[in-house]
C-alpha cells in the first residue's frame, strides 16, 4: 500500500478529525487541538512544514553510493533505519476513542518491529495511555522508548520505574507539554527547573531523553544535566503558537552539542526526502508523528510498517541521488 493510499484509507476513520489534505501542512486544521492540528493560529505546525520545504537538494549522480546503508545503532540497539515513530497518546481526547489506546500502542510497536526500528510510547492524563505503551513493547518484543509528561518530580520517577520494569531501553520527558491541561484529570504538569530535571535524569541508569528542545541554551543544559539525548521539537506545533519550525533551529543546536548528546528531531517530516534534509541539518534520528498515525488508522501495524519502510526506501533513493553511501555521510553538502 502506497503512502497516498494509506492516507486515503485512514480518511474513512478520521473523517471527523482530519481533512486528509494533499499536503499535510497544518493550514486546514489550524487550531484543531484536541484533534490533528496546531494550537492557536496553527503557525507552529505550519512553520515546521514550511521550514523543511525551504531547503533544496544538490543532485549528484557520479559517485560510488550504489547501495546506500541506513542501518544504525541507538542506545545499544541495531536498527534498520534512523526513522522512529513519534510518541503519541490521547486517543480518547483527540479522536473520541475511534481507536483505543491499546490498539494504537500495539499497532505502533508491532509495526516498528516489522520495520526493524525502535518503538516509542507517550503519556497522558489517563494511566491507560502510558500503561498501554509499555505493555505493547513487551507484547511485540520490540525495544521501546517511554516518554513521560512533565508531572511532579515524584510522578515522573514513578513512571520511570514502571518503564524500567517493562524493559524499556530509554526514558524521557517531553518538557514542552508543561502547559497542557491535565490537572482536571488529576495529573497536573508544569515547567521543571534545571535542578529538578537533573535529579530526574540521575534517578535512572537508562538513557534519558529530553523532548521539546528548541534553543541552544536548553540543548546545552541537557548536556550538562547528563541526558543521553534530546528531541528538537515544538510538540508538532501543539504547545506554543508562533514558534519557528524545528528545521530552522536544528542547525545551530547541532553545531553546539552534536557529538556530546544524541540529537533527534520531529515536526513536519512527511517523506524520506524530509528525513534526509533533517539529517543533513544535524539530526541523527528522526521521529515521525502524523504519517504513522495515519498508518495506524489505515491498517494498524501493517499501516505503520508500510509508512516506516516506504519512508526508509525513499531515504535510500534520495541518498543515492545525493551521493551518500551511509546515513552518517549525510551532511550539509547535500543542501543547495
Which residues carry out catalysis?
235
Q: Retrieve residue 30's grid coordinates.
A: 489550524
| Cα angle 253, 211, 31; round to 5 | 100
Rounded CA-CA distance 31/38 in Å is: 5
Helices (H), 169-234: 194-201, 216-224
Q: Would you say 233 is a known binding-site residue?
A: yes
Q: Would you say 35 is a known binding-site residue?
A: no
Cβ neighbors of 32 (< 8 A, separation 6 or more) are: 17, 38
Q: Would you say 50 is a known binding-site residue?
A: no
Q: Would you say 253 is a known binding-site residue?
A: no
Q: Could you tell me the CA-to-CA distances from 15 to 18, 35, 106, 294, 316 in Å, in that order? A: 6, 11, 22, 12, 33
Give residue for cell 473520541: 96
The answer to whether the beta carbons of residues 175 and 212 sit under 8 Å apart is yes
Rounded CA-CA distance 259/44 in Å is: 28
Q: Would you say 268 is a known binding-site residue?
A: yes
Query: Per DSSP, what are the bridge partners of residue 57?
Result: 335
DSSP state of 69: B
Burial of 152 (0-12, 13-18, 19+ CB in 10 A): middle
Q: Would you say 269 is a known binding-site residue?
A: yes
Q: Would you say 267 is a known binding-site residue?
A: yes
Specify the 3-state DSSP secondary structure of 297: helix
DSSP state of 187: -
Q: Would you say 235 is a known binding-site residue?
A: yes
Q: Which residues define the annotated binding site for FMN?
A: 211, 233, 266-270, 289-290
Q: Which residues define the annotated binding site?
A: 211, 233, 235, 238, 266-270, 289-290
Q: Which residues define the annotated binding site for glyoxylate?
A: 235, 238
Amino acid at each position: 500500500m502506497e503512502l497516498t493510499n494509506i492516507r486515503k484509507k485512514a480518511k474513512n476513520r478520521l473523517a471527523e478529525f482530519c481533512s486528509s489534505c494533499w499536503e499535510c501542512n497544518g493550514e486546514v486544521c489550524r487550531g484543531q487541538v484536541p484533534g490533528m492540528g496546531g494550537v492557536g493560529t496553527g503557525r507552529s505546525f505550519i512553520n515546521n512544514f514550511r521550514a523543511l520545504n525551504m531547503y533544496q537538494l544538490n543532485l549528484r549522480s557520479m559517485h560510488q553510493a550504489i547501495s546506500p546503508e541506513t542501518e544504525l545503532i541507538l542506545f545499544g540497539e541495531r536498527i534498520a533505519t534512523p526513522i522512529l515513530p513519534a510518541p503519541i497518546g490521547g486517543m480518547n481526547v483527540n479522536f473520541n476513542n475511534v481507536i483505543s489506546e491499546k490498539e494504537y500502542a500495539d499497532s505502533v510497536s508491532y509495526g516498528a518491529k516489522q520495520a526493524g526500528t525502535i518503538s516509542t510510547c507517550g503519556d497522558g492524563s489517563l494511566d491507560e495511555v502510558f500503561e498501554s505503551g509499555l505493555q505493547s513493547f513487551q507484547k511485540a518484543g520490540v525495544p521501546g522508548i517511554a516518554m513521560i509528561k512533565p508531572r511532579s518530580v515524584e510522578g515522573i520517577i514513578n513512571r520511570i520505574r514502571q518503564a524500567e520494569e517493562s524493559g524499556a531501553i530509554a526514558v524521557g520527558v517531553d518538557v514542552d507539554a508543561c502547559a497542557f491541561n491535565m490537572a482536571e484529570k488529576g495529573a497536573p504538569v508544569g515547567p521543571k527547573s534545571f535542578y529538578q530535571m537533573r535529579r530526574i535524569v540521575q534517578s535512572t541508569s537508562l538513557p534519558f531523553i529530553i523532548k521539546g528542545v528548541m534553543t541552544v541554551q536548553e540543548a546545552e543544559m541537557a548536556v550538562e544535566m547528563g541526558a543521553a539525548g534530546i528531541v528538537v521539537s515544538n510538540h508538532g506545533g501543539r504547545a506554543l503558537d508562533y514558534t519557528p519550525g524545528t528545521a530552522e533551529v536544528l542547525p545551530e543546536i547541532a553545531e553546539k552539542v552534536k557529538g556530546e548528546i544524541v540529537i533527534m528531531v520531529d515536526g513536519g517530516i512527511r517523506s524520506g526526502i524530509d528525513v534526509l534534509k533533517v539529517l543533513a541539518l544535524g539530526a541523527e534520528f528522526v521521529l515521525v508523528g502524523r504519517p504513522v498515525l495515519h498508518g495506524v488508522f489505515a491498517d494498524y501495524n501493517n499501516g505503520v510498517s508500510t509508512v516506516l519502510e516506504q519512508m526508509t526506501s525513499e531515504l535510500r533513493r534520495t541518498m543515492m541521488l545525493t551521493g551518500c553511501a551511509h546515513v552518517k555521510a549525510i551532511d550539509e553538502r547535500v543542501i543547495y
